[in-house]
Structures are given as structure tokens and as C-alpha cells.
Amino acid sequence: MMKKINFKHTDESLKKLLKSIFAYDLAVLYPNLDNDEKNRLLDLVSLDKLTDIFVELDVEDQLELLHRISITKRKSLLKNLETDDLKEFIEDIEESDRPEILSLLSQVKRKTIALLMNYDEDLAASIMSTDFVTIPKDISIKEATHNIITTSKEQDYIDSIFVVDEEKRLVGILDLRTLIMARNTSTIEEIMLEDFQFVFEDQSIEKAIQTVMDYDRNSIPVLDKDDHIIGIVTADDIFDEIVESSEDDYQKLALISDHDQSLSAFKRSQKRLPWLMIAVVLNLVIASFLSIFEATLAEVTALVLFQPLILGMAGNIGTQSLAVTILGIHLNEFDGKSIPKKHIIKEIFVGLTNSLLLATASFLFVTAFLTFLPLVVDTQLPIEIATVVWIAVFTSMFISALMGVLVPVILTKMKQDPSAAAGPIMTTINDVVALVIYFGVATIAFL
């Protein structure tokens, strides 16, 4: 639990208290402080903790924080940021604000940020950090240790040391722990790992994610076409990317555009309304289909009782197939250039099995319901209506499961976002298909 902060304390007492509170907790607290409290907090925390607080804030609060501190401290904070965090911050702010921020950076840092921002956002290089340490392969253990101690910067990632040859090509990776425990008589080439995982700068983020997950690495190097290391992707970068991607996919599943917590209820309503209006139009299409089967409904009124069953089961199985397929695509389980036949066959079998079992269960339920609770008087026998329900449940569920697999795969082959296949639109299409099957079968059977 986060400690409460009493800003009436003296600077010395307050500084001691702030030192004991995690940067994340201070970042959560910061937006709710008044101006005087914010100024005192920013004056009393260390530069390292201030940097960590900055990273955890929303972009609006980040800009506000920068304008509260002096130019000198502002430069120090930006210098202290890891390159990937700094790049993300500059990308998030308005273009009109970027020149002011870039002017506070060193020439080398500006060039580095410009290089990172040139990469397509789907490439592994777009999330890499350039804060890493390299050593030559032909130096001694003592020289390597001295090199790291004297040349590494505060923000450098030093858990893994990258070993290069005379032409600066990456030839090995060395864990810091291995270096510390090595005997002075050993050589770098003897203790380094030559069989290491990496990604090239033009490979996708998905490839980097899969590599980190498959080989359980805390970091992997990013190489150019000449095998020179130009950056690293850490497990933290991968975790952040997965979280961001999951949030984005979830918003798309519900057909909600980028969610902003600061937006008013009216603004949020404006963003969601267009898609809901489309769903309304599609539901009117459903109503028009129902009017076609007006004679069937008049003849067999009991059909209305089981309409929610048909719609619900078709929607549920379709959502499951869709979720599994989209997850497989995002985890890079599929090729993307060819239809994953193994996955499709497996999901078709699952859909077929579940559709058959649930249709049979529905048949038994409907028969029992109409036999023992005859709420509606129709000329048809309970078993006849139950048979129609069985056919409708089985067929609509199977088709819905099939659509849940094929639609995202087809969209992926067409280089479209498969997440766009979900949400209210997909649900409504499934509803139309299910109702047409249900009442269509009933019309053929009873009229």
C-alpha cells in the first residue's frame, strides 16, 4: 500500500519519506497533487527517481512535469532516459512540441532518436534501445571488466555484454555474471556464448516477441545486414509491446477507437456511436428477415421461445473460434502467406463436435420443455419443433465456428487487421445467418 504524503513536513523529513516510496506510486499520486505539492516533490526527489516517475506518467503529465523544472534539470532528465523511452515520449507528443524537446538533447541523441523514428512501427528495430555495451573479443577478462566499469553509462543495459570482432560484427554474447565469475586466465572467446539468438532490423516485432519467448532471453540483439549490432530488444520492451498490442486488439474487438481516460463521457460517446449505429442498421436487417417469416411465426408461435438459444449459441462458438485464431496470428503461430490448414482442420473438428453435442442437448431440452410445460399451444408435436431447433443449432453453430476461423485468416492474407473481424458487426452477421437458418428450416418443415 502506498504511504500517505504530508507535505507540511520539513524538506528533510519529506525527502526521507519520498526516498522510501516507489516511483510508480509517486507517478500515480502526481496528477492529483496541487501546484505547490508538485513543485516540492520535483525539487526533493533524486534525478533517477524523477526519471522513473516521468516514464510512468501519461504524455500530458510528462509535458507538464518538464515545464515545472529548470532547463538544466530538464536536460538532465532527458539525458537520463533510456533511448526507447525517450523515443516513445517524442512520438507521443504533438509535432509542434518536438523541436523544443529535441533542442535539449545532444547531437548524438538527436540523431539516434531520428534513426529510431524512421523505422516502421511494425519492425523490431522500432522498439529497440541503443543503450548497450560492447567489448572486443581479443581483450582480457581484466580489461573487459575495467572497460565496462569505466565506460558504461547509467542507463546502459549491462546484464548482457555484446562481443564484437575487428570489423565490429557481433560474434558472441557474454552474461555479466559469467564475466564477474571468470578467472583472469580465461579469455573472452572462451567464456562468451557464440550460439545466440537475434533479429535483423527489418524483421517484425512479432519475430522479436517469439524469439524472446522461445529462448527465454532477457534481451536479444538487433543486427543490420552486415551483422553489426545496432540495438537491443529487452524482455521489458516485449512485455510493454504485448500489453499495448492487447489493449489495441481489445479496443478493436469492441470496435472502439483509441481509448483516452481523460476524455469526457460525451467525447467517448461520440467515438463509439458510429459503430453502434452500424449495428442498429444491421439489426434492422434482422427485423426485415423476421418479417419474411411472419407466416411461420403465426403458425408455430413456440419458435419464438427458442430464438435466444439459437442466437446465443451461434454467437458464443463464433467468438471462441475467432479469439483462438486471432491469438494464433498475433503470436506468429501461422505463416501468414498460406492458410494454416492444420489450425483450420482442428477448429472445424472442434466446431463440429461442439455443435453436434450442444444441438443434441438442445433437442432434449426443447422436447422436455414443450412436453411438460406446454406454455404455447401449437398443432406441431414437441419432437417436431425440437428437430427444427436441433437442425438450426447444429448448422448455425458450425457455420459461425467456420466463419470465426476463416474470416481472420482471409483478412490476414489480404494484409488487413484480423481484429476488425470481431465486435458488434461480426456478432450481427452471425445473428442474421442463425435466424435465416432457424426460420428457414421451420418454414420448410411446417408450411
Tens digit of each residue's pLDDT (9 = 90 or more) over 368-385: 998 887 665 567 888 999
Q: Are strands 170-175 and 157-164 parallel, antiparallel or unpaired?
A: antiparallel
Cell representation of residue 415 = 494484409
Residue 407 to residue 321: CA distance in whole angstroms: 10
Q: What cell was used for 129?
A: 534501445
Residues of the chain within CATH 3.10.580.10 domain(s) are: 127-245
- How much is the pTM? 0.60
Residue 1's pLDDT is 46
Question: Which pLDDT does position 346 carry in this prediction?
Answer: 85
Q: Domain 265-446 belongs to what topology?
A: Tetracycline Repressor; domain 2 (1.10.357)
- In this prediction, the residues of the chain whose per-residue pLDDT falls under 70 are 1-3, 243-272, 274-276, 278-279, 289, 327-340, 374-378, 416-425
Q: Which three cell numbers stand for residue 371?
A: 412436453
Q: Where in the chain is the domain with CATH 1.10.357.20?
A: 265-446
Q: What pLDDT, on a 0 to 100 scale, did the predictor assign at position 113? A: 92
Q: What is the pLDDT of residue 433?
A: 86
Which CATH number does 11-118 carry? 1.25.60.10
Q: Is the separation of the CB atoms in 53 and 30 below 8 Å?
A: yes
Q: What pLDDT was estimated at residue 133?
A: 93
As to burial, measured by CB atoms within 10 angstroms (0-12 exposed, 13-18 middle, 19+ buried), residue 19 is exposed
Asked whether the beta carbons of 262 and 407 are under 8 A apart, the reply is no
Cβ-based burial of 199 (10 A; exposed 0-12, middle 13-18, buried ≥19): buried
Identify which of 230, 273, 237 has the alpha carbon closest to the alpha carbon of residue 119.
230
CATH of 127-245, one of 3.30.70.20, 3.30.420.40, 3.10.580.10, 3.40.50.300: 3.10.580.10
Which regions of the chain carry the CATH code 1.25.60.10?
Answer: 11-118
Cα–Cα distance, 116 to 88 (Å, whole number)? 10
CB atoms within 10 A of CB 372: 8
